[in-house]
Amino acid sequence: MRAVVHSGTGPADILHLVDREEREPGPGEVRVRVRVSGVNPTDWKRRNGVVAAPDHEPEHDVVPNQDGAGIVDAVGEGVDDLAVGDRVWLMMSAYGRGTGTAQESTVVPSTRAIPLPDAASFDVGACLGVPAVTAHRALTMHEHGPRRLFPGALAGRNVLVAGGAGAVGHAAVQLARWADADVVVATASTPEKRALARRAGAHAAVDHGDPDAAARILDAAPAGIDIVVEVSPARNAALDAAVLADHGLVSAYGAEGGRELSLDVVTHFTRNIRYQFVLLYTLSDGALRAAAEDITAALESGALPVGVDAGLPLTRFPLDRTPDAHRAVEGGTTGKVLIDVSR
């Protein structure tokens, strides 16, 4: 089979296409024939060494890319919830294993292969994983709940999504709307990106750099924001503080704009504002399972479409151009970058 691999860390040039033998799944594992692989910032950062690999992850012949979608074609001993022929979306395929989705088949623990409803395309499945699970966690950490997402779960809550045109932001807008948040506001830096956020379902989209950004957010959500899904806490801390309601939550999942965060302590403790930092790879098994179940329910209701009309443009590459796909994500391509692995 064809696979893209790298050894050590470095620029996209270290990715190269090889032929290798398919693995058989072991106990508790499944083998998935990958149809579409999704590329996230975490993938190029792992390859480039910006983010260190876990101690137990191999350093040689690592196949990148955490996310993807395909069809189960072999099942290991003890797996009874998946069968050959099942359509699945994948999460954390490469984490700790080096068995990512930039290859024609990958072997993963069965818990990392989630049933993909028939109505959802492989493109949709490849856009889930890192973005949707991160967004789910960010939306379910408020002091007063909810802990799960479903229609009505966010009724009475106002949500602000920073970076609403990004993959996590897009998923957060869609999941918040599916869960019936009263108001969903997104921020984005250009008119084109704000239009994408509105197509995803945001009630309003605001330029975070506008001197009147706080007033514009509060015009849309006069009672204040209950949950902020935040990609740039260092840059947006003052704006978040200006629009948060009492007992509000900032769920920070990124470090765009800097790694040092400065807060006015009095402002935050007098209003019981909380910060929660979110990293997919260190979530508990229970949190991952809850996210997978809720995301699948949203898929079944048609709540997570992708494509430019749904606010998430898709940029595609063939498998042998995986280095170009990584460069595109590293260069800030708007929307989601996908790799067509097999058809």
Q: Is the pLDDT of residue 110 over 70?
A: yes
pLDDT at 58: 83
Question: Hey, which CATH number is domain 131-281, 3.40.50.720, 3.40.50.1370, 3.40.50.1980, 3.90.79.10?
Answer: 3.40.50.720
Task: Select 2-127+312-340's CATH number: 3.90.180.10, 3.40.50.720, 3.40.50.2020, 3.90.226.10.
Answer: 3.90.180.10
Residue 152 has pLDDT above 90, yes or no: yes
- Percent share of the chain, pLDDT over 90: 94
Residue 342's pLDDT is what? 86
- Would you say the CATH fold of 131-281 matches that of 2-127+312-340? no
* Mean pLDDT, rounded, for 12-36: 97
156-192 confidence digits (pLDDT tens)? 999 999 999 999 999 999 999 999 999 999 999 999 9
Q: What is the pLDDT of residue 60?
A: 84
Distances (CA, A) of 52 to 3, 22, 207: 22, 27, 33
Residue for token digits 């239009």? Answer: 195
What are the residue ranges spanned by the domains of the chain?
2-127+312-340, 131-281
Residue 49 has pLDDT above 90, yes or no: no
pLDDT at position 21 is 94
pLDDT at 215 over 90: yes
Q: What is the pLDDT of residue 59?
A: 77
Cβ atoms of residues 252 and 278 within 8 Å: yes
- Per-residue confidence (pLDDT) for residue 41, from 0 to 100: 95
Dihedral angle sign, alpha carbons of residues 164, 41, 109, 87: positive
User: What CA–CA distances, in Å, run from 124 to 13, 35, 130, 267, 305?
Assistant: 28, 12, 13, 41, 7
pLDDT of residue 343: 67
Number of Cβ within 10 Å of residue 222's Cβ equals 9
Question: Residue 30 pLDDT > 90, yes or no?
Answer: yes
Strand-pairing partners, residue 99, are 63
- Cα(324)–Cα(267) distance, integer angstroms: 45
Predicted confidence (pLDDT) per residue in 294-314, tens digit: 999 999 999 999 999 999 999
Q: DSSP class of residue 17?
A: E
Average pLDDT, the chain: 96
* Cβ pair 193, 165 in contact under 8 A: yes
pLDDT at 182: 98
52-107 pLDDT, tens digit each: 777 677 878 999 999 999 999 999 999 999 999 999 999 999 999 999 999 999 99
Q: What is the pLDDT of residues 310-337, one digit of tens each?
A: 999 999 999 999 999 999 999 999 999 9
Q: What is the DSSP string of 197-208?
A: HHHHT-SEEE-T
